[in-house]
Amino acid sequence: MREWFYSHYLEFLHDFNQSFIEDDRWLYIVKGLGITITVAVGALILGVIFGVIVAVIRSAHDQRKHKKTKDLGYYLLGILDFICKVYLTVIRGTPMMVQLLIMYFVIFASSTNTTMVAILAFGINSGAYVAEIIRGGIMSIDAGQMEAGRSLGLNYIKTMRYIIIPQAIKNILPALGNEMITLLKDTSLVTVIGLKDMVKGALIIQGRTYQAFLPLVSVAIIYLILVIILSKLLTLLERRLRESDRR
């Protein structure tokens, strides 16, 4: 029995050595982690910016639809709303991987900055989902809040910014957290455009050593840890934002 354990222990040590220590192969994973985080954070910021803009345009259009005065602003809003709808339909209706490939091989075929292309592709994708989440949050706020803000002389944008959005964010944080987690994990797709993220790192190690188990499992564990940290941060943020709900 002891010998059995011992031989397996030696085997593990050998595999570990070969997968990570020899030729400093662990660097593939660590550098890949850097790429994964860069793409995820960049795309997240971009996604939230796109999401807020699209959500505000769509809500503004919905709220103005019944107004009788049809001035220039009304038509402008109509055009913007139409563009937003096309954006949502196309992005949500096509696979992320296809979008990534089109961005890399068609739209930015001449670009050498693969990381930027990946951030842009994921940001645009995430923005569509974030937009609908935020729009849901905006709709969940009582109409009286908008009226109260407007009655004080704040304009639409200021009322949105200081009154509606802060409350909406609080309501949508769980859904937004979900989207962030999905985004973080989906960045593993960048492998298809040749970006050396964690998954690509693991595949490279596998190619060199014929070892699949350790590189892939360690990548899975790193993703898991990242997601757990993210969830914890979101829980903390949620608790902080809920302070005003105490009775």
Partner 1 sequence: MIDVKGLKKSFGNHDVLKGIDEHIYKGEKVVVIGPSGSGKSTFLRCLNLLEEPTEGTITFEGNDITAPKADIDAIRRKMGMVFQQFNLFPHLSVKENIKLAPVKLGIMTNSEADAKAMELLKRVGLPDKADAFPKQLSGGQQQRIAIARALAMNPDVMLFDEPTSALDPEMVGEVLQLMKQLADEGMTMVVVTHEMGFAREVATRVLFMDDGVIAEQNEPKEFFANPKNQRLKEFLSKVL
Q: Which residues of this chain interact with partner 1, rule CB under 8 A?
A: 67-69, 71, 142, 144-145, 147-155, 158, 162-163, 166-167, 170, 241, 244-247
- When the beta carbons of 154 and 216 are compared against partner 1, the nearer one is 154
Segment (H or E) for 189: none
Q: How far is 102 from 93, CA to CA, in rounded Å?
A: 14
By beta-carbon proximity to partner 1, the closer residue of 108 and 156 is 156
- Cβ proximity to partner 1: between 150 and 185 the closer is 150
Smallest distance, Å, CB 71 to partner 1?
A: 6
Tokens of 135: 């729009």
At closest approach, how far in Å is the CB of 165 from partner 1?
A: 10
Tell me the closest approach of the beta carbon of residue 62 to partner 1, in angstroms: 16
CB of 180 to partner 1, least distance (A): 22
Residue 239 CB: number of other CB atoms within 10 A? 9
Quick one: 7 or 151, whose CB is closer to partner 1? Answer: 151
Instruction: Report the alpha-carbon distance of residue 131 to residue 150 in Å, rounded.
Output: 23
Cβ neighbours, 10 Å, residue 168: 24
> Is the CB of residue 117 less than 8 Å from the CB of residue 104?
yes
Residue for token digits 């982690």? 33
